[in-house]
Structures are given as C-alpha cells and as structure tokens.
Amino acid sequence: MPVYKLYYFPIKGRGEVIRLIFACAGVEFEDIRIPFEDWPSRKHEMPFGQIPILEVDGKKMSQSSAICRYLAREFNLYGKDNFAGYKSDEFGDAMYDVMLKLPWTEKDEKKKEELTKIAVNETIPPMLLPFEEYLQGDYWAGELTIGDITFASCADHLLSLRPDIFDATPKLKALKERVFSIPNIAKYVATRPKTSM
C-alpha cells in the first residue's frame, strides 16, 4: 500500500474532497494541516507554490482536481467506463463553477459577508435547478463517483452558509445526505476538526 500524505491548510476548502475520497475508500493517509502563518516559509517546498499537494511514496502531486481523479482511479470511484468518468467530471466541474460565485478572495470582511449573502440568496439557487433536473437515480453517473463526493463537499459548505439552500432541490439535498451517510464518510465527518471554512 502506498504511503499517502496530504498537505493543505487547516480548513476544508479544496482539500476536503481529497480527504472525503480517502475516507470513502477506507484508506489511511497523513493529513498535514499547515497553519496559515507557516505557509510563507513552506511555499517553496510545493510544486507551483500552492496546495493542496498529495505526496505518494515521496512523489508530490499538485492540482486538486487532478489529485481527485488520480485517487478515484486508484480507489474505483471513477465509474465503470469512460463515459461514467466523464459524467463524474461533469458534475464535479459544474459544482466548482457554482462555488466560484462565492467571494473567496475578498479581504474586506463586511463586503465579503454582503457578497456571500447575494451569492447564496440570489446567484447560486437558480444555478442548482439544472442539477436537480438532470439528476436521475441515486448518483449522477449511476453509481457513486468522485463527482458525487465533490458535490456533497460543496453542498456541505453551502448549507453552512444557508441551511435551507437545497429546499427547492430535494433530489440534491437527498444526494448530499446519501453521500454523507456512507459509513466511512459519516465516521470521518463526525470526527474531523471543526473549521469555519
């Protein structure tokens, strides 16, 4: 079994989907959470000067989406064929488009709060409606893939900002709950560090 180390900040962010994939697969990994104040002195260690980074037997891999796809192939979470893999990517990438509507880089806290309210109350809810329409069955690609795990992680964050955001999309709400009810994922979520992001 390879030795896995994940380097990321002490938040959920882009690292959380990777953590959830490991949890779902029941595979051990070292979760290295770098404090923000330590990042300037550690940045030079990382490919492209950014994180998350997954280290596999000493080899460092960058880019969160590429890491997720790599792990999904390793742990049979990428669908039964190439089309299912595409459907998984379609769902995950489309959800990242939704999440980009949040003001992640805004430094002014008051403005960030205002922009977040606009995003979760006005911009994002209509974007969720096509997902609700296109979701057929329990999972996006017909079986559990990283697309569903990516969605569930994004949904978890959106729910922390507005608890009723999925009330108009009950199939999506049920999908998030279904993924988070998978025993290994439920165990991880119950014990993971509490973070605001």
Q: Catalytic positions, please?
A: 8, 14, 104
Alpha-carbon 81 to chain mean position:
22
CB within 8 Å of 29: residues ≥ 6 apart: 4, 5, 6, 19, 22
Residue linked to tokens 């550690």: 42
Q: What is the 3-state secondary structure (H, E, C) of 83-116?
A: HHHHHHHHHHHHHHHHHCCCCCCCCCHHHHHHHH
Q: Give the Å distances, CA to CA, from 118 to 32, 58, 122, 133.
A: 34, 43, 5, 24
